[in-house]
Structure 1
């Protein structure tokens, strides 16, 4: 399988367990790695033979900036599942969501959740 990476996409969302997170919101960083066959796109130079990364960006933005989740694990899983449901060319997806400023009295670079999902032999979505 070939790989397409979308790195450090930045979105503003209202996710979190604490009410102030849902009210104030914050920036989230999202990385997506898509596993798909890009042979035809590489050979033909045809956008129809690949996935338009601008579409993936807009798709992800809609999720992150939409309905709030309590956990970034849920946000991450939702992005992964919906990518697989909507982009049938994708065989496997890895999504990494970073919350750079969790509301804790500690100093660190944030918290990141990364998960991978793919298709089983029946087309269902499964962890990989």
Structure 2
């Protein structure tokens, strides 16, 4: 199926299970795959037949930079739910990455990836 993708959108948010994450905040990287038919938009060159990238970015930005969640799983679910309800998507893949997680040991990043469809 056709899809639109967003890679490495970076935002600063206050999500996390530890109090210092909620107080100090951290960077979050968001990657998306938005599944929908792009054929009609591609044939007609009509923006109304696809998804406005700027509006999708703003939607994700509002969520990540908004009210904090304890879990990145909840953050990913909120992004998926909001995108599926606002845009003509069949399915969405949301990947949330914490580039510098505050956990013992060396990790370049940790995160979650979820795939959700219209119900």
| Aligned residue number for residue 48 of structure 2 | 48
The within-5 A match list for 1:76-91 is 76-87=76-87, 89-91=88-90
Pairwise CA distance, 1:105: 2.4
Counterpart CA distance in 2 for 1:117 and 1:71 is 18
Q: How far apart are 1:48 and its partner, in Å?
A: 1.0
1:11 aligns with 2:11: yes
Separation in 1, partners of 2:4, 2:115: 14
RMSD: 0.8
Name the residue aligned to 1:104: 103
| Correspondence for 2:2 | 2
The 2-side partners of 1:104 and 1:37 are apart by 41
Q: Distance in 1 between matches of 2:59 and 2:81?
A: 12
Q: Which runs of 4+ in 1 moved over 6 A?
A: none
- Distance in 2, matches of 1:101 and 1:69, equals 17
Q: What does the per-residue CA deviation read over 1:92-127, in whole Å, with 9 as the maximum and x for residues that have no partner?
A: 0000000111112211111120000002xxxx2xxx
CA distance in 2, matches of 1:67, 1:34: 24
Q: TM-score, normalised by structure 1?
A: 0.90
Ranges in structure 2 where 5+ consecutive residues have no aligned partner: none
Alpha-carbon distance, 1:8 to partner: 0.4
Q: Give the Cα separation in 2 of the matches to 1:41 and 1:83.
A: 19
CA contact (8 A) 2:7 2:30 kept: yes
Number of matched pairs: 119
- How far residue 51 of structure 1 moved from its aligned partner, in angstroms, is 0.3
